[in-house]
Structure 1
Amino acid sequence: MTDHLLRLHGDVLAAMRRGPRNFAGLALALAEDEEPTDTEQSGFRDRIAGAGPGDGLTALWHRTLTGWDLAERADWSAAPPRTDERRADAYDRLGFDSGLRKALDHAVPVFKEPGPTIISTTPTSWYSRETAAVRSFYWTAYERLLRQKNWSDAAVAGLDEASHAVVERLADPTRPDAYGARGLVVGYVQSGKTANFTGVTAKAIDAGYRLVIVLGGTLNLLRGQTQRRLDMELIGRENILRGADPDDPEALIGVDYQDDEDWPEKFVSHRGRPSALGAFDIERLTTRDDDYKSLATGIRALEFDKQVRTQPLYAPDNLHRAAARVMVVKKNKSVLSKLIKDLKKIGGPLLSEIPTLIIDDESDQASVNTTDPKKWEEGKVTRTAINGQISQLLGLLPRAQYVGYTATPFANVFVDPGDGDDIFPRDFLISLPRPTGYMGVQDFHDLDRTDGSAVGSAERAHVRGIHDDAHGDRLSEALDAFVLTGALKLYRAAHGVPESHFRHHTMLVHESVRMAEHTALALRISSIWHQAAYTGQEGHARLAALFASDFQRFADDGLPTPASYEELKPHVSRARQLINSGGTPVLVVNGDTERDYAQPDLDFDRTPHVWKILVGGTKLSRGFTVEGLTVTYYRRRTQQADTLMQMGRWFGFRPGYRDLVRLYIGREEPAGRNRTVDLYEAFEAICRDEETFRAQLARYATLIDGKPQVTPAQIPPLVSQHLSWLKPSSRNKMFNAELVEIRSPGEWVEPTAYPTAPPELRHNTEVWRPVLDLLGPENVTLGHGAGFEAQIGTLDHETLIRILCDLRWSSPSNFSPHLESLLAAHEHGEGIDDWLVILPRQRSSRRVEATVLGSRPLSLAHRRRRRGDVFGAIGEPKHREAALRIARGDAGAGDGTGTSLVGERRGVVVLYPVVEDEPPRISAAGAIDPAHLVMAFGLVAPRSSTGPQESLVRFRAKDSTREDLAIIERGTDGP
């Protein structure tokens, strides 16, 4: 039965390419005589209000409204995206009444999650939404496939917006003068970056790019993974078959994917040969099993048929009729040499006409030039092999656009921006949002918690140490957890959770990069496995105890979980059988050659079920997706943040089993030279570095007078380092840039790198001691609601500057950029008169108070250092909120005292006398030794401290084209 209303609404919305228009008028114009138009909005409202799951009309409006909500630029609305105001503008233009608006808002809430953050200097006028809609053959097919894979409308719309943001910053493929843009897209580890560059490739090919080169990792394992993904989701059945009859077995001889269980059903279909449907074909120059060897038909492979021979290929009449070529190649010197050699045979005239897109997956690996500039010859750059070959490709293809993808961008943004032949993202840098359903840092680290409560603790739910006092090494427990979670997955599959979520079930053990140690570890795991007695009473008793003490406690209430181990017990046997299939539960994944990784049991694409314990090193820690990863046992150390971050294979999407994920990770292990390393806290440190980087990008993405505050060339100083020994990247990738100043008016600034030596702690306490005498003897109540008690006082800006300059730090760079801004405000007489000092007082009966250096009693705050010399969160949310409100001048009616303390040019300092010992060492007289006290603080500079049109950052960066700029060095004793 025809759904006339759905068909009519589909026709009407298809006519709204430029945005919402009056719905009733279009409906009358487009309705056919025999179908009801239902111009009354009540019928539409009732349909939406009463619609059940799977209703096509609701789905259509969900896609449409979400797309309008997310559009970064909308000619029809001045309201920002992802806001109620944008949605209201859409309803106004549609002419919908309040009843229909209410029904649609209930069915399709406004999607308010953050979008991509964009730093760009590139004009985007050539690629409008209307232009994209006119030519969208491959994007439409990709979008259709994603919906078939049950992607939500919001997820599809978000990918559409993010991939559009990349493509519009490439050069117009039809422009007469050649220009090659350079950009970088930053995602999260295992967060779907491939989905984004697949969408970018689809849109770019639709727009006119006719050669796509994807640099897909350094191993065939990774390259083949990327090739299959593009073949399955973009290139499609018809282009793979190249006209062969899919029902003729002889015609299919030699066609790859015949042994792939997903072929052909899960490969996108274009419903006919694209060239026969008025579009254009895609020719593959590489296959799933074959990397680039040579142009299969010689020079002809890159000769494009021109409809108008007198015009260049990039002329629209030629470009949009020509087939596209796609290749996925390894970042391998031999492979890239063959490609460069073949391109040189073709010659410059033809190559100069080909709009090309080069996508560099994991662009911080192998692609970055790591030679020392100090050793370059005069006027000549010395390049590492892969970097030099990428540079040659860009030189041979003047219309090539380079887009790097990475989750660890530090090495990329430290590239010399003055090297015009390198891959520095001079034109744009785009930070992708954290995807819905992604399990990342917030799911494993309690970044901003100051209490020890177990409620809602990510660490308590998912993180376990690798040692405990009772049992020592917890590897045996980790294996038990792996069996138990496998059984829980089987239980959930039997109780309605889609079985596809549990196709693979894996455990990763990563202790070393040494192959000999991998072999020994695999033998040890096998020995533990065969002695575990999983079929006997002892094994079941152990699993039952672990289930009750751990997995039952932290189970997701929304997922089926047995009430007792007895319900789960039947599935334990099946889980053990799956893990032990082939006679061993363990796969070793390492080696020096490609054949070391050609393991059928490790092929997640071709193998129906991979239920194994993977033991390996570096090759499992970048780019390669460990499907179904549920339990990780990790103790590998490194001193580079980006390397460590890439090892975080436990980040990713875990549908149906995120509550079962467990991370066993090293805590406080010896690292030599009387130092210990806490791997968990090291991960937390680099996660903070990454989040700080993203937050900074978001702040500076806001335009001032229509111009960006920073360009991509000015991004390097935004890279932070929370842990002194853990560098953002390896030394040979960090030859440029240091942040000089960062202005944070109206923002909470909380330094955390305080010294540990008693003399330095005493010094800092003595520096702050005079301020304590400025605090009033009576407590005041600040904040909203019940608020909190505090002692308060004021001091002038000059006095605070003297204090801050006299403090000592374990890592001066942690605070010096903020101090630089305060110094500049002081030197230039900008916007700060004085500072309100707040010292919070505890009300609890368990509060601890002490005097220091003869002061009045102070409430002591207990905090612990989370990473070496660096504390975790120090300030409490209610204190931060009050400080922000007062410094911003919006304390509000509910905070009478706070309102009276507001000053137009007044900042706020919150002091925290912090003790690390518990209980603190307080004398019988109620005093604490200043050598055992950390005088920590947070501050908020007033908004008056910087003009409304002034940039928030000042810095100097090393740039080979700007020799007049210098790096500012900081001493170790102070800023």
Structure 2
Amino acid sequence: MNPIAEAYLGALAMLEATAPRNLHLAATMVTESAGDEALREYLSNAGPDDRLRKRLQLALATWDYVVDAVWAEGTEPRTVARRELIYKLLKIDAETIALFHEEFPIAGRDGDIIIADSWEPWYTDELRRERGFYWDNYHGLLLAQDWSADAVRHLDHATSEVVGRLAEPTRQEAYQSKGLVVGYVQSGKTANFTGVIAKAVDAGYRLVIVLTGTTDLLRAQTQRRLDKELIGVENILGGVSPNDAELLDQVDYQDDPEWMSGKFVRLGVVPADAGKPGIDRLTTYRSEYKSLQQGIAALDFPKREKSLPYYDPENLFHGDARIAVVKKNGSVLRSLVMDLKRIKARVSEIPTLIIDDESDQASINTSNPKKWEEGQKVRSAINRLVSELLNLLPRAQYVGYTATPFANVFVDPRDAEDIFPKDFLISLQRPPGYMGASDFHDIDIDFDQVERTFANSVQKAHVRFVSGQYEKENKALLEALDAFVLSGAIKLYREARGTKAFRHHTMLVHEGMRTAAHKELADRITDLWNKSGYYSATAYTRLRGLFDKDLGPVSRVRAGDIPTPNSFDEILPYLPKAIARIGGTRSPVLIVNSDKIESDQEKLDFDTTDHVWRILVGGNKLARGFTVEGLTVSYYTRVAKQADTMMQMGRWFGFRQNYQDLVRLYTTVELYEGFEAIVRDEEFFRSELRQYAAPVGGKPQVTPQDVPPLVGSHLPRIKPTAANKSYNKVLAERRTPNKEPRSGYPNLSDRADILHNVEQFRPVLARAIARGRVALSQDRDGHEAWACLYSHRQLLEMFNRLRWSNATSFNADLAWLNTLEDEHIEDWQIFLPQLKSDEYKANVLGLGPFSLHRRAAPNGILEGRSTLFGRADAEKVARPPKPASKSRRGALLLYPMIAKDKAPRIVAGEVDPGEVVMAFRMVVPTAALPNDGPLVTFTTKDSSRPSAAIVDSPV
């Protein structure tokens, strides 16, 4: 190692444990040549991944963030004043300060959004420094990998925000906090909860339960990740000598190339020898949690001082931690619950951390409240077992992680045994280097399709549309295969020019969830591959054409500094190797689903296999938290109706270092539009959180319990989450441009309500009669209508007085209409379309005569769907044909309606008003149309206020 690097790395290690002090003086303990000039010269020649450069950046950022340190002299975190003080304490000269300022700028305010109840701060910077064994090792591993110092610094801050809101582990009174951390799909949530576990174990938490998704693939992937990056070689060996071949069979990883090459974190010491807590694994990479039976001692927590509770520091900081990584499976969780019950007297004293990965999957109670007996809440299986865990462990802290939080915020906030995030809700900022939805959708970019280029449009650069016709679909699938082959060759081209090796290179094909269809699809892809001509020169003309029109031009404008071929001929030497890796010795296609893997198919294993260059066909097992490594081309045509389901299937989101320009998504126009709407739903949810995040007067504006954030739907056909996760959902606002309430009118037997509603329309009927009839110009049959104008405020006052059999049918529309001002809607043109037939025409409330429209009345409730004629005139009033003329006049079609199955009582030309329902259809004017934001929003029922129709919302 360079002596200057060695000297300053040692100096930083000392200073990070205390505070910023004379940097050069500390470095001279290693080399006398340390000084400003030597340090500047080294940094000027160091690359971006240089170890000292990254460590300096991290140290400065860490000191920037400190809140309560004495040395900070009251300076605010992340300010110029704080950084100037740091430079002063480091005693560096003006030239070095200028270099630091340029190379290591002050990080901006974090984008993490935090809504939290008041809590007692306990996780101080001093505590973190004193008890940072596992965190220090973890963040050191990340720095040694591909993480930038800025990313590690942000992770440090974000994880401290979570740990600081857990209960202090040595407190006497048990407290159970519950929180939710919201990230992006495949954006590093596992890294966040790994960091949280590291800091929690350092701080005193001694039982960690990680609930993964529902598949063995995800459970094993999570276990290995924690073993490799957190638990460490010394804990995994458990005292077994690495040279003891016979006992190493217990290790799990004896054939793992990353284990053998030293990629698993080494703690540098057996934790007990350094007075640090060890971590005992209750599960392994190959073994799910099983009932411990005679080995129940593995769950025991022996006390050093038997007269004191386990959470007392005399016991807590002399005990080891236990960790179990379990999938959300009924029998597995029951085994864990039963074992904990067997040591119930002790577990009540154990500070416990429960991490629920993919917390909106399986953990939510999906039982139908309509089927519950009076006063008896029924829970679905996994939700019941999670509740049992929380009841068994009064000192347990529950932290859910998800990228799709909609189901979580629909949980009843007053259900003490459920998992509503009552204490905190943290929305993580998008991490650097992440390829997310904004990299596939031209959100809020105003240009015509013809103006899109590979440079200015992410859609044009990365998205290719698939037709539903079989022949065209096959052509698109072959093109996707070609893109996969070409991108593999370009990766090899880049490797040869110095980029890090691309260990895995994958393509995902997802057309449906049925396992039988997966086999058919795999056979179809294999047939296309075999007929493609890849093993001869016959495919090269086709590949050249795709490179020239697609991959080449996109890479040239989007690859940045990454080596990029200028012509197809430059990648030609790498094509045979790419083709051989994909399908040279075995089938290029792997089926990944719940079916038993055929004997001749290799197992999908990103961890222990050197290279996975394959086309993956599957459904749910390739979604929901499972990371598809090296994913470059996605062919996705599966239709789903829920926003969270669709987003969790978006495996094309993630980190794509050195090949972001090569990523392609093949999908249908309908699905693409659906994903774009969901992207807007996500951003709306985060914006709802953001507006409440800033404290007022040192106190939180709201807590997660007070105001559940609004969940929006920009495309109403795509629901936020499945119906069985939405029993607690309440429709809050509906911003749809046409309003046509259905099945919301009072029951026909509720004569008083019907008479009340008709009476509210009396002024409208009177004004229409006074103004007279008009021809419906857009109606070829020559219908006429009574017509009049009504101001927006007058109409809203009338609507607010109406009665409904189901108030939510129109309240959500009314909630939005009440927010619109004169600049959006000035007035309403009201039409009462008249039938040519006089069969049912009568006065209503002494006014008229008016046509009585007939509609079916299923279950005694009138349908509010309007007749066809009159709609065109209403559209013309509210939506003028010329885009330049934004109308502020809405249109309302009003239809006095009677039941279809019986003749109304008409006496002396007057209809009984108790048999008339005033149905209407509204067309909102152009100026009021929602150009941004969701069309529909939802919030959550609160069981402590059962009479509230809608929980208080920010609208």
| TM-score bracket for the superposition, by shorter chain length | 0.7 to 0.9
Aligned counterparts of 1:355 and 1:800: Cα–Cα separation in 2: 59
Note if contact 1:463-1:662 (Cα within 8 Å) is conserved in structure 2: yes
Q: Which residue of 1 aligns with 2:535?
A: 535
Alignment of 1:510-525 (within 5 A): 510-525=510-525
Alpha-carbon distance, 1:195 to partner: 0.6
Q: Quick one: structure 1 residues 451 and 89, their matched pair in 2 at CA, closer, same or farther if it must change by over 3 Å?
A: farther
Matched position secondary structure for 2:506: strand
Alpha-carbon distance, 1:232 to partner: 0.5
2:314 aligned to which of 313, 317, 322: 317
Q: Which residue of 2 aligns with 1:646?
A: 648
Q: Which residue of 1 aligns with 2:270?
A: 273
1:497 paired to 2:502? no
Aligned counterparts of 1:87 and 1:451: Cα–Cα separation in 2: 43
Alpha-carbon distance, 1:465 to partner: 0.6
1:687 paired to 2:683? no
Aligned counterparts of 1:597 and 1:71: Cα–Cα separation in 2: 56
Aligned counterparts of 2:737 and 2:73: Cα–Cα separation in 1: 49
| 1:468-495 Cα deviation digits (max 9, x unpaired) | 9997221111111111111111111112
1:590 paired to 2:586? no
| 1:267-304 Cα deviation digits (max 9, x unpaired) | 00011211112212111111111101122753311222
Matched position secondary structure for 1:430: strand
Q: Quick one: structure 1 residues 357 and 680, their matched pair in 2 at CA, closer, same or farther if it must change by over 3 Å?
A: same
| 1:29-61 Cα deviation digits (max 9, x unpaired) | x788897698x9777667656766666654432
Q: Which residue of 1 aligns with 2:779?
A: none
Q: Which residue of 2 aligns with 1:636?
A: 638
Alpha-carbon distance, 1:731 to partner: 1.1
Q: Which residue of 1 aligns with 2:151?
A: 155
Matched position secondary structure for 1:726: coil
Matched position secondary structure for 1:328: strand
Q: Which residue of 2 aligns with 1:670?
A: none
Q: Quick one: structure 1 residues 324 and 34, their matched pair in 2 at CA, closer, same or farther if it must change by over 3 Å?
A: closer
**Taking every aligned residue pair, what percent have the same amino acid on both sides?**
49
Note if contact 2:503-2:611 (Cα within 8 Å) is conserved in structure 1: yes
Alignment of 1:416-815 (within 5 A): 416-452=412-448, 453-455=451-453, 456-467=456-467, 472-473=472-473, 474-499=476-501, 502-555=502-555, 556-591=559-594, 600-667=602-669, 678-738=670-730, 753-755=736-738
1:401 aligned to which of 387, 397, 414: 397
Aligned counterparts of 1:447 and 1:137: Cα–Cα separation in 2: 44
Note if contact 1:8-1:37 (Cα within 8 Å) is conserved in structure 2: no
Note if contact 1:232-1:267 (Cα within 8 Å) is conserved in structure 2: yes
Alpha-carbon distance, 1:726 to partner: 0.7
Note if contact 1:4-1:36 (Cα within 8 Å) is conserved in structure 2: no
Note if contact 1:506-1:629 (Cα within 8 Å) is conserved in structure 2: yes
Alpha-carbon distance, 1:591 to partner: 2.4
Q: Quick one: structure 1 residues 43 and 622, their matched pair in 2 at CA, closer, same or farther if it must change by over 3 Å?
A: closer
Question: Unaligned regions of 5+ residues in structure 1, if any?
Answer: 668-677, 742-750, 758-797, 824-833, 839-851, 863-909, 915-929, 941-953
Aligned counterparts of 1:388 and 1:806: Cα–Cα separation in 2: 47
Aligned counterparts of 1:385 and 1:932: Cα–Cα separation in 2: 46
Q: Quick one: structure 1 residues 938 and 611, their matched pair in 2 at CA, closer, same or farther if it must change by over 3 Å?
A: closer
Alpha-carbon distance, 1:387 to partner: 0.5
TM-score, normalisation: structure 1: 0.75
Q: Quick one: structure 1 residues 302 and 602, their matched pair in 2 at CA, closer, same or farther if it must change by over 3 Å?
A: same
| 1:888-935 Cα deviation digits (max 9, x unpaired) | xxxxxxxxxxxxxxxxxxxxxx98999xxxxxxxxxxxxxxx999944
Note if contact 2:66-2:125 (Cα within 8 Å) is conserved in structure 1: no
Q: Which residue of 2 aligns with 1:261?
A: 257
Matched position secondary structure for 2:554: coil
Note if contact 1:591-1:597 (Cα within 8 Å) is conserved in structure 2: no
Aligned counterparts of 1:260 and 1:129: Cα–Cα separation in 2: 37
Note if contact 1:370-1:384 (Cα within 8 Å) is conserved in structure 2: yes
Q: Quick one: structure 1 residues 655 and 34, their matched pair in 2 at CA, closer, same or farther if it must change by over 3 Å?
A: closer
Most deviating of 561-570 and 6-15:
6-15
Note if contact 1:753-1:814 (Cα within 8 Å) is conserved in structure 2: no
Alpha-carbon distance, 1:191 to partner: 0.8
Aligned counterparts of 1:305 and 1:935: Cα–Cα separation in 2: 70
Aligned counterparts of 2:550 and 2:69: Cα–Cα separation in 1: 50
Aligned counterparts of 2:594 and 2:375: Cα–Cα separation in 1: 40
Most deviating of 525-534 and 65-74:
65-74
Matched position secondary structure for 2:257: coil
Q: Quick one: structure 1 residues 814 and 493, their matched pair in 2 at CA, closer, same or farther if it must change by over 3 Å?
A: farther
Aligned counterparts of 1:800 and 1:87: Cα–Cα separation in 2: 56
Aligned counterparts of 1:279 and 1:426: Cα–Cα separation in 2: 33
Q: Which amino acid aligns with 2:339?
A: D
Alignment of 1:187-198 (within 5 A): 187-198=183-194
Note if contact 2:680-2:714 (Cα within 8 Å) is conserved in structure 1: yes
Aligned counterparts of 1:598 and 1:218: Cα–Cα separation in 2: 26
Q: Which amino acid aligns with 1:692?
A: F
1:285 aligned to which of 279, 282, 293: 282
Question: Unaligned regions of 5+ residues in structure 2, if any?
Answer: 741-789, 800-808, 827-874, 891-921
Matched position secondary structure for 1:716: coil
1:62 paired to 2:86? no
2:356 aligned to which of 357, 360, 377: 360
Q: Which amino acid aligns with 1:454?
A: R
Q: Which residue of 2 aligns with 1:171?
A: 167
Q: Quick one: structure 1 residues 736 and 160, their matched pair in 2 at CA, closer, same or farther if it must change by over 3 Å?
A: same
Q: Which residue of 1 aligns with 2:225?
A: 229
Note if contact 2:7-2:30 (Cα within 8 Å) is conserved in structure 1: no
Q: Quick one: structure 1 residues 358 and 53, their matched pair in 2 at CA, closer, same or farther if it must change by over 3 Å?
A: closer
- Report which of the two structures shows the higher radius of gyration computed on alpha carbons: 2
Note if contact 2:510-2:636 (Cα within 8 Å) is conserved in structure 1: yes
Note if contact 1:216-1:331 (Cα within 8 Å) is conserved in structure 2: yes
Aligned counterparts of 2:718 and 2:357: Cα–Cα separation in 1: 24
Aligned length: 805
Alignment of 1:823-838 (within 5 A): none
Aligned counterparts of 1:36 and 1:296: Cα–Cα separation in 2: 62
2:370 aligned to which of 367, 374, 384: 374
Most deviating of 423-432 and 375-384:
375-384
Most deviating of 710-719 and 614-623:
710-719
Q: Quick one: structure 1 residues 280 and 932, their matched pair in 2 at CA, closer, same or farther if it must change by over 3 Å?
A: closer
Q: Quick one: structure 1 residues 636 and 70, their matched pair in 2 at CA, closer, same or farther if it must change by over 3 Å?
A: farther
Alpha-carbon distance, 1:601 to partner: 3.1
Aligned counterparts of 1:520 and 1:367: Cα–Cα separation in 2: 33
Alpha-carbon distance, 1:812 to partner: 8.5
| 1:789-818 Cα deviation digits (max 9, x unpaired) | xxxxxxxxx9776699999xxx98998656
Aligned counterparts of 2:279 and 2:627: Cα–Cα separation in 1: 27
TM-score, normalisation: structure 2: 0.77
Aligned counterparts of 1:573 and 1:4: Cα–Cα separation in 2: 45
Alpha-carbon distance, 1:961 to partner: 2.1
Aligned counterparts of 1:280 and 1:754: Cα–Cα separation in 2: 61
Q: CA RMSD, aligned part only?
A: 3.9
Alpha-carbon distance, 1:708 to partner: 1.6
Alpha-carbon distance, 1:617 to partner: 1.4
